[in-house]
């Protein structure tokens, strides 16, 4: 086994895995509170990245300020969507909610394609170019370092937000028991809205760092495949665990870049590997590595 | 209090039979008219945008109808949200295309392979569904659907599937000589006022072939509908609905959850495969990009727009998901709407918005809306219990209220000797 090649693939897995982790984090924020999977999460993130693109490239703002503004805009938009389309429904009845998110998936995807077209666009660089570290022939680019840093910083910030603030406490109360938290006076609606807003902001950040990869570019369908990887990552980590999403994301990234080539699986089947992981996790350990097992009462 | 319907029909009465078979006959005539009318001249002009409803597109809609019918079984009746119907649709399309193109099978004989293969693969994916509940199943099946284009493009199977360029089939349907299609066309063309809709003169070979394909596929689809409707109104169907409504209590009542869930997955997948076969028979090509996860999501749109858990909803759903994107892409200008909003995937935007709006205003889909309207005109009532004599020939038009029932019983007692005997046995019980 070529050690340099292994290192290269390890670094690749880290950068891919971190972006999956960010989208998985967004899924987790919504799942935690309502056990709902937002199938439109990838599209939320994609359109968020387009906001960032417009702000930085067309409006000329510095790229990180554009990212921040893009996160704020998508958080506000998601809060609005939660208020108008999600909250009218009973949170425990999933079917209408899933159908709404599928409708959003179709609508947002189509809307982005209608506004920006299917042409690919180069996304502004978020991290310095070049390599941070060279070991033998293996190189660790600043992009990978940056993505991993952003991912861990986001997870850390989310942990602080959930554990150290009042709204975070309310959010944890709602995700632990919706009815009881309502009884003790938590305003459930705005709390869930907060979850949707945070999820959209994290998703926008995730999509931005994903398409900032020099070998990728921004186009309306860029997040469709990523969503599957992220779902797999979130399930592996346990759908309601913040750090589980990070672990799951990086694990899926490693599966894609290390297990798939060494097992001589054709590279296109990396998505298949993610689906298999998802299926195995749900079959044998539905609560994932770090999730809370669901106990059903009859 | 809702306004009372104009007609009240009792199940089994002559009026009901006329209503039922008259409806079926009208439907058949309408289908025949559609077949001949839209063969080459189905042009609709909406604000200067020509839009041709061709028979080919209707046949394509028929293929989607069958797939959505399958989704009705697994999602509508069993309550298992599957986002993977596109996978089985594609599987059926590819198996059928390969058998027809490479092994010279006829389309219908490929069903011998397509149905069992899709059924078994569906069952195999139904097994994880036993442990994976609700949204988890949606996740796995979405992954499956996303995987399909990659799977058929793999170099491993490229010899069979032609990878990215898709498997094309040249075999065409040839209308049999005994079928007087030209004669029917001539008769329809002779109808005053609307005769022009049916074109001029004899049908060309390709037109005849299209009509024949349409007729065959509609018959096949009707068979699928009959099979599913028998299934859902009999013991397995009741079991499926019990599972949908409350899994735990269904299990407690002695339903074999594992059996019924995998069975419903299998049936749904087999129907997906049949739909795929119809699709290939119409389009003549199975290519990877036709069967992405978008297709699976469109099937869900069709399911919801038509009406979850209603068989007729599948028909409306199939038509909607074919014609809305189609019409939207051929419409390039509308007064009052900037042109940029009419370019690109406007159809998907409309479908997405429609999905959201319907979930709010009409959760039962278009079918439930139609049923509400129909209930203002016609109401079909079940036979009252114990009234064995109310067979064909006796039109009972009173609603089943306590008063009306006693009246009817009194009337029955003074009726023929046979029925008097009947009511006597009833009272002695």
A39 within some domain: yes
Distance from CA of A116 to the nearest CA of B (A): 10
Does A109 touch chain B if contact means CB atoms closer than 8 Å? Answer: yes
A249 within some domain: no
- Candidates A90, A103, A286: best to mutate against B (most CBs of B within 10 A) is A103
Give the model's confidence band at B119: pLDDT under 50 very low, under 70 low, under 90 confident, else very high: very high
Note whether A231 contacts B304, CB cutoff 8 Å: no
Least confident among A171-180, A278-287, B43-52, B88-97: B43-52
Contacts of A228 in chain B (CB under 8 A): 142-143, 146
Judged by phi (left if over 0) then psi (alpha if -120 to 50, else beta), residue B137 lies in alpha
Note whether B128 contacts A279, CB cutoff 8 Å: yes
Higher pLDDT: B65 or A93? It is B65
A12 within some domain: no
> How far is B318 from B71, CA to CA, in rounded Å?
11
Please identify among residues 335-364 of chain B the ones whose CB lies closer than 8 Å to any CB of chain A: 340-341, 343-349, 351-356, 359-360, 363
> How far is B197 from B328, CA to CA, in rounded Å?
23
Does B297 touch chain A if contact means CB atoms closer than 8 Å? Answer: yes
Per the document, the length of chain B is 429
The size of the A-B interface in CB pairs under 8 A is 134
- Judge whether residue B418 has pLDDT over 70: no
A9 within some domain: no
Place of tokens 């009999």: B234
Contacts of A270 in chain B (CB under 8 A): none
Note whether A286 contacts B136, CB cutoff 8 Å: yes
**How do residues A85-99 score in pLDDT, each as one tens digit?**
998 888 777 888 889
Please identify among residues 113-132 of chain B the ones whose CB lies closer than 8 Å to any CB of chain A: 128, 131-132
Give the model's confidence band at B429: pLDDT under 50 very low, under 70 low, under 90 confident, else very high: very low
- Judge whether residue B422 has pLDDT over 60: no
Going from N- to C-terminal start, the domains of chain B cover 38-291, 385-428
Note whether A99 contacts B359, CB cutoff 8 Å: yes
Does B312 touch chain A if contact means CB atoms closer than 8 Å? Answer: no
Contacts of A44 in chain B (CB under 8 A): none
pLDDT at position B155: 75
**How do residues B263-303 score in pLDDT, each as one tens digit?**
888 999 999 999 999 999 888 888 888 898 889 999 999 99
Structural contact between residues A186 and A173, judged by C-beta atoms closer than 8 angstroms: yes
Does B305 touch chain A if contact means CB atoms closer than 8 Å? Answer: no
Note whether A98 contacts B146, CB cutoff 8 Å: no
A278 within some domain: no
A139 within some domain: yes
Which among A37, A106, A271 is the nearest to B352, CB-wise? Answer: A106
| pLDDT over 70, % of chain B | 78
Structural contact between residues A96 and A89, judged by C-beta atoms closer than 8 angstroms: yes
Tokens of residue A33, six digits: 């509170």
Note whether A283 contacts B132, CB cutoff 8 Å: yes
**How do residues B330-365 score in pLDDT, each as one tens digit?**
776 666 666 666 677 888 899 999 999 998 888 888
**How do residues A214-225 score in pLDDT, each as one tens digit?**
888 898 888 888
- Judge whether residue B394 has pLDDT over 70: no
pLDDT at position A178: 83
**How do residues B126-137 score in pLDDT, each as one tens digit?**
777 777 666 778
Which among B136, B144, B151 is the nearest to A282, CB-wise? Answer: B136
- Judge whether residue B8 has pLDDT over 70: yes
Structural contact between residues B149 and B289, judged by C-beta atoms closer than 8 angstroms: yes
pLDDT at position A244: 92
pLDDT at position B3: 57
With H, G, I as helix, E, B as strand and everything else as coil, classify residue A69: helix
Contacts of A95 in chain B (CB under 8 A): 79, 81, 308
| Phi, psi (degrees; rounded to nearest 5) at A134 | -130, 120
**Mean of pLDDT values over A256-261:** 85
Nearest CA in chain B to A85: B356
Note whether B154 contacts A266, CB cutoff 8 Å: yes
Give the model's confidence band at B1: pLDDT under 50 very low, under 70 low, under 90 confident, else very high: very low
Distance from CA of A127 to the nearest CA of B (A): 31
Please identify among residues 169-198 of chain B the ones whose CB lies closer than 8 Å to any CB of chain A: none
A169 within some domain: yes
Note whether A275 contacts B248, CB cutoff 8 Å: no
Tokens of residue A264, six digits: 């001589």
Please identify among residues 18-47 of chain B the ones whose CB lies closer than 8 Å to any CB of chain A: none
**How do residues A105-154 score in pLDDT, each as one tens digit?**
999 999 998 888 888 888 888 888 888 788 878 888 888 999 999 999 99
pLDDT at position B162: 79
Note whether B146 contacts A224, CB cutoff 8 Å: yes
Per-chain mean pLDDT for chain B = 78
Which among B142, B151, B344 is the nearest to A114, CB-wise? Answer: B344
- Candidates A95, A221, A229, A256: best to mutate against B (most CBs of B within 10 A) is A95
Note whether B150 contacts A283, CB cutoff 8 Å: no
Judged by phi (left if over 0) then psi (alpha if -120 to 50, else beta), residue A129 lies in beta
Contacts of A36 in chain B (CB under 8 A): 135
Structural domain count, chain A = 1
SS3 content of chain B, % helix, strand, coil (to 5): 70, 5, 25
| pLDDT over 70, % of chain A | 98
- Judge whether residue B396 has pLDDT over 80: no
Helix (H) or strand (E) holding B7: strand B7-10
Note whether A266 contacts B355, CB cutoff 8 Å: no
pLDDT at position B421: 37
- Candidates B83, B125, B135: best to mutate against A (most CBs of A within 10 A) is B135
**Mean of pLDDT values over B120-147:** 82
- Candidates B132, B146, B308: best to mutate against A (most CBs of A within 10 A) is B146
> How far is B58 from B198, CA to CA, in rounded Å?
16
Please identify among residues 113-142 of chain A the ones whose CB lies closer than 8 Å to any CB of chain B: 113-114, 117-118
> DSSP per residue over chain A, as a string?
--HHHHHHHHHHHHHHHHHHHHHHHHHHHHHHHH----TTHHHHHHHHHHHHHIIIIIS---HHHHHHHHHHHHHHHHHHHIIIIITTS-TT-HHHHHHHHHHHHHHHHHHHHHHH-S--BPPPPSS-SSEEEEETTEEEEHHHHHHHHHHHHHHHHHHHHHHHSHHHHHHHHHHH-HHHHHHTT--HHHHHHHHHHHHHHHHHHHHHHHHTSTT--B-TTHHHHHHHHHHHHHHHH-TT-HHHHHHHHHHHHHIIIIIHHHTT--GGGHHHHHHHHHHHHHHH-TTTTTSPPP----
- Judge whether residue B63 has pLDDT over 90: yes
- Candidates B139, B153, B349: best to mutate against A (most CBs of A within 10 A) is B139
Note whether A286 contacts B128, CB cutoff 8 Å: no
Give the model's confidence band at A231: pLDDT under 50 very low, under 70 low, under 90 confident, else very high: very high
- Judge whether residue B89 has pLDDT over 90: yes
Note whether A117 contacts B344, CB cutoff 8 Å: yes
pLDDT at position B367: 86
Note whether B142 contacts A39, CB cutoff 8 Å: yes
Closest by Cα among A171, A174, A36 to A93: A36
Give the model's confidence band at B172: pLDDT under 50 very low, under 70 low, under 90 confident, else very high: confident
Contacts of B341 in chain A (CB under 8 A): 114
**How do residues B304-320 score in pLDDT, each as one tens digit?**
999 888 888 899 999 99
Query: In CATH terms, is domain B38-291 a member of 1.20.144?
Result: no
Distance from CA of B56 to the nearest CA of A (A): 25
Tokens of residue A223, six digits: 């997040």
Give the model's confidence band at A160: pLDDT under 50 very low, under 70 low, under 90 confident, else very high: very high
pLDDT at position B423: 37
pLDDT at position A44: 94
- Judge whether residue A197 has pLDDT over 50: yes
Distance from CA of B325 to the nearest CA of A (A): 11
A109 within some domain: yes
- The reply to whether the predicted model has a pTM over 0.80 is yes
Structural contact between residues A87 and A34, judged by C-beta atoms closer than 8 angstroms: no
Nearest CA in chain A to B249: A298
Per-chain mean pLDDT for chain A = 88
- Judge whether residue B195 has pLDDT over 70: no
Note whether A282 contacts B139, CB cutoff 8 Å: yes
What's the domain range around A195? 25-223
Note whether A279 contacts B143, CB cutoff 8 Å: yes
Distance from CA of B127 to the nearest CA of A (A): 10
Does A107 touch chain B if contact means CB atoms closer than 8 Å? Answer: yes
| pLDDT over 90, % of chain B | 20
Give the model's confidence band at A67: pLDDT under 50 very low, under 70 low, under 90 confident, else very high: very high
């Amino acid at each position: 086994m070529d050690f340099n090649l292994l290192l290269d693939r390890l670094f690749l897995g880290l950068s891919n895995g971190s972006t999956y982790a960010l989208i998985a984090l967004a899924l987790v924020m919504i799942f935690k509170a309502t056990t709902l999977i937002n199938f439109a999460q990838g599209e939320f993130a994609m359109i968020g990245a387009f906001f960032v693109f417009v702000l930085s490239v067309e409006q000329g703002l510095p790229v990180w300020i554009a990212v921040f503004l893009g996160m704020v805009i998508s958080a506000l938009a998601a809060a609005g969507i939660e208020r108008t389309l999600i909250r009218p429904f009973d949170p425990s009845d999933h079917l209408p909610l899933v159908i709404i998110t599928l409708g959003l998936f179709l609508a947002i995807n189509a809307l982005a394609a209608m506004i920006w077209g299917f042409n690919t666009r180069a996304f502004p660089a978020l991290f310095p170019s070049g390599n941070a570290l060279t070991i033998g022939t293996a190189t660790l680019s600043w992009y990978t370092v940056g993505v991993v840093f952003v991912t861990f910083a986001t997870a850390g910030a989310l942990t602080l937000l959930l554990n150290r603030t009042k709204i975070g406490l309310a959010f944890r109360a709602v995700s632990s028991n919706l009815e009881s938290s309502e009884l003790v006076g938590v305003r459930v609606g705005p709390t869930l809205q907060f979850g949707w807003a945070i999820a959209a902001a994290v998703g926008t950040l995730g999509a931005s760092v994903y398409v900032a990869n020099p070998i990728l570019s921004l186009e309306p369908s860029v997040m469709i495949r990523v969503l599957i990887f992220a779902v797999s990552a979130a399930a592996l980590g346990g759908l309601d665990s913040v750090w589980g999403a990070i672990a799951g994301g990086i694990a899926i990234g490693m599966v894609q870049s290390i297990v798939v080539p060494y097992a001589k699986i054709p590279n296109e089947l990396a998505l298949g590997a993610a689906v298999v992981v998802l299926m195995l996790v749900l079959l044998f350990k539905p609560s994932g590595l770090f999730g809370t097992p669901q106990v059903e009462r009859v | 209090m809702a306004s009372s319907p104009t007609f009240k029909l009792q199940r089994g009465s002559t009026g009901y039979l006329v209503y039922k078979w008259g409806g079926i006959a009208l439907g058949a005539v309408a289908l025949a008219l559609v077949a001949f009318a839209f063969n080459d001249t189905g042009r609709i002009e909406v604000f200067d945008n020509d839009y041709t409803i061709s028979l080919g597109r209707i046949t394509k809609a028929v293929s989607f109808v069958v797939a959505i019918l399958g989704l009705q079984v697994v999602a509508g009746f069993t309550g298992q949200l599957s986002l993977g119907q596109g996978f089985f649709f594609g599987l059926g399309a590819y198996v059928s295309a390969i058998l027809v193109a490479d092994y010279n099978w006829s389309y219908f004989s490929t069903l011998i392979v397509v149905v069992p293969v899709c059924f078994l693969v569906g069952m195999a994916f139904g097994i994880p569904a036993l442990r994976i509940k609700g949204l988890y199943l949606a996740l796995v099946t979405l992954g499956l659907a996303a995987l399909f284009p990659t799977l058929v493009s793999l170099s491993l199977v490229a010899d069979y599937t032609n990878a990215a360029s898709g498997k094309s089939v040249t075999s065409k349907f040839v209308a049999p000589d005994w079928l007087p299609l030209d004669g029917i066309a001539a008769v329809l063309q002779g109808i005053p006022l609307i005769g022009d809709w049916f074109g001029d003169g004899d049908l060309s070979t390709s037109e005849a072939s299209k009509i024949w394909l349409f007729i065959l596929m509609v018959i096949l689809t009707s068979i699928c509908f009959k099979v599913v409707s028998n299934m859902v109104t009999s013991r397995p169907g009741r079991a499926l609905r019990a599972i949908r409504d409350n899994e735990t209590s269904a299990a407690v009542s002695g339903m074999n959850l594992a059996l019924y869930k995998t069975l419903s997955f299998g049936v749904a997948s087999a129907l997906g495969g049949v739909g795929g076969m119809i699709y290939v028979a119409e389009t003549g090509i199975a290519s990877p990009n036709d069967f992405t996860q978008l297709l699976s999501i469109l099937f869900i749109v069709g399911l919801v727009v038509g009406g979850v858990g209603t068989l007729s909803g599948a028909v409306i759903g199939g038509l909607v998901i074919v014609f809305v994107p189609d019409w939207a892409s051929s419409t390039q200008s509308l007064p009052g709407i900037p042109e940029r909003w009419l370019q690109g995937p406007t159809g998907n935007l409309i479908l997405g918005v429609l999905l959201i709006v319907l979930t709010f205003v009409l959760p039962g889909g278009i079918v439930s809306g139609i049923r509400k309207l129909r209930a203002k005109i016609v109401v079909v009532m079940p036979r009252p219990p114990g009234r064995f004599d109310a067979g064909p020939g006796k039109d009972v038009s009173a609603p089943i209220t306590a008063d009306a029932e006693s009246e009817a019983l009194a009337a029955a007692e003074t009726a023929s000797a046979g029925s008097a005997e009947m009511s006597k046995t009833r009272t002695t019980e």
